[in-house]
């Protein structure tokens, strides 16, 4: 797919709201804001870790060699591995020990968390708001992962990456994105329409383009592109999980943007309840407390 870039110095005509819904942002000539195309690559170590975990023949020594190539990155992974964010009971001082004990999937989750924290960069309340939402979604994904038959770490990684398009747009177009993030909307579809009007691309499209450009596994592109789409019978289970977790993160108090019309907790978790019954889902208050505790452990 060859993206068509737009010059930020040329202000495009903004179509009326009723016309925006008819724009197809998934054609062969997708409009991608030009500054987004100039984002630096995602952290090379985290990208290599993601690639290694898809290789069934990978060895522990391969993973150690990749991560230890960047001592600062390795130190950050050890810091997180020893924090209550991931809840491991005993302290680990050597990366190879951490990899051996925690396994490939957990190290992947740690590596992506460290890389995302670096990608987010500078801090202000609106950046913090988006980062908290991504982390909250990741933690809820992990909490509900067993219901969907996934390892917690695979689910966590999907959740933390689902909104990377919003972070990418915020990083490259802060003047345009800050007003959008501070506004209040009727629902998430109105948020997407506002992004398209301002930038000719919404964060779902931006995220799917970014992870494809960074050569991430294809499932992350699907998650980024469709996490706000209505439920679909053709959705993969990992996408279904992220859709639930994204809505739950909003409902329990960790939204990226404020929306007036949110589903109830029971409505948001209905795909889970239909599988195993309502008692399979932790209560909203328990999820809220768990997310808040783990965000505090990570100093978010």
List, for the chain, all residue ranges whose pLDDT scores fall below the cut of 70: 1-31, 84-90, 122, 275-279, 299-300
Nearest CA among 224, 215, 221, 222 for reference residue 236: 222
Do the strands 31-33 and 258-259 form a parallel or antiparallel pair, or are they unpaired?
A: unpaired
Do 203 and 163 form a contact (C-beta atoms < 8 A)?
yes
Q: What is the pLDDT of residues 151-205, one digit of tens each?
A: 888 899 999 999 999 999 999 999 999 999 999 999 999 999 999 999 989 999 9
The angle subtended at Cα 235 by Cα 191 and Cα 246, nearest 5°, is 40
Q: Which residues pair with 259 in a beta bridge?
A: 185
Main-chain dihedrals φ then ψ at residue 244, nearest 5 degrees: -65, -50
Alpha carbons 170 and 133: distance in angstroms, whole number: 14
Which domains are present in the chain?
A: 41-120 (no CATH), 122-300 (1.10.3210.10)
- What's the mean per-residue pLDDT of the chain? 83
pTM over 0.85: no
Q: Which residues pair with 70 in a beta bridge?
A: none
Alpha carbons 101 and 148: distance in angstroms, whole number: 24
Do 221 and 204 form a contact (C-beta atoms < 8 A)?
no
145 three-class SS? helix
Q: What is the pLDDT of residues 66-100, one digit of tens each?
A: 888 888 888 888 887 787 666 666 678 788 888 88
Which pLDDT score is estimated for 54? Answer: 72
Alpha carbons 40 and 214: distance in angstroms, whole number: 10
């Amino acid at each position: 797919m060859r993206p068509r870039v737009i010059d930020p110095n040329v202000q495009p005509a903004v179509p009326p709201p009723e016309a925006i819904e008819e724009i197809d942002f998934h054609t062969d000539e997708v409009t991608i804001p030009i500054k987004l195309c100039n984002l630096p690559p995602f952290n090379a170590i985290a990208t290599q870790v993601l690639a290694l975990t898809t290789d069934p023949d990978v060895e522990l020594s391969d993973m150690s060699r990749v991560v230890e190539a960047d001592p600062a990155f390795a130190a950050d992974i050890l810091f997180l591995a020893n924090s209550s964010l991931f809840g491991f009971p005993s302290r680990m001082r050597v990366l190879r020990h951490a990899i051996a004990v925690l396994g490939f999937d957990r190290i992947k989750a740690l590596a992506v968390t460290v890389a995302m924290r670096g990608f987010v960069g500078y801090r202000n309340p609106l950046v913090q708001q988006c980062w908290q939402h991504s982390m909250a979604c990741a933690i809820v994904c992990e909490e509900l992962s067993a219901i969907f038959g996934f390892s917690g770490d695979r689910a966590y990684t999907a959740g933390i990456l689902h909104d990377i398009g919003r972070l990418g747009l915020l990083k490259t177009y802060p003047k345009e994105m800050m007003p959008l993030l501070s506004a209040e909307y009727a629902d998430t579809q109105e948020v997407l329409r506002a992004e398209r009007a301002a930038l000719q691309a919404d964060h779902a499209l931006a995220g799917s383009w970014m992870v494809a450009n960074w050569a991430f596994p294809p499932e992350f592109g699907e998650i980024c592109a469709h996490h706000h789409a209505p439920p679909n019978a053709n959705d993969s289970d990992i996408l279904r999980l992220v859709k639930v977790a994204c809505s739950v993160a909003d409902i329990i108090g960790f939204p990226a943007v404020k929306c007036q019309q949110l589903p109830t907790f029971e409505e948001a978790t209905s795909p889970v309840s239909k599988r195993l019954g309502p008692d399979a889902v932790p209560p909203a208050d328990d999820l809220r407390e768990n997310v808040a505790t783990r965000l505090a452990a990570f100093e978010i």
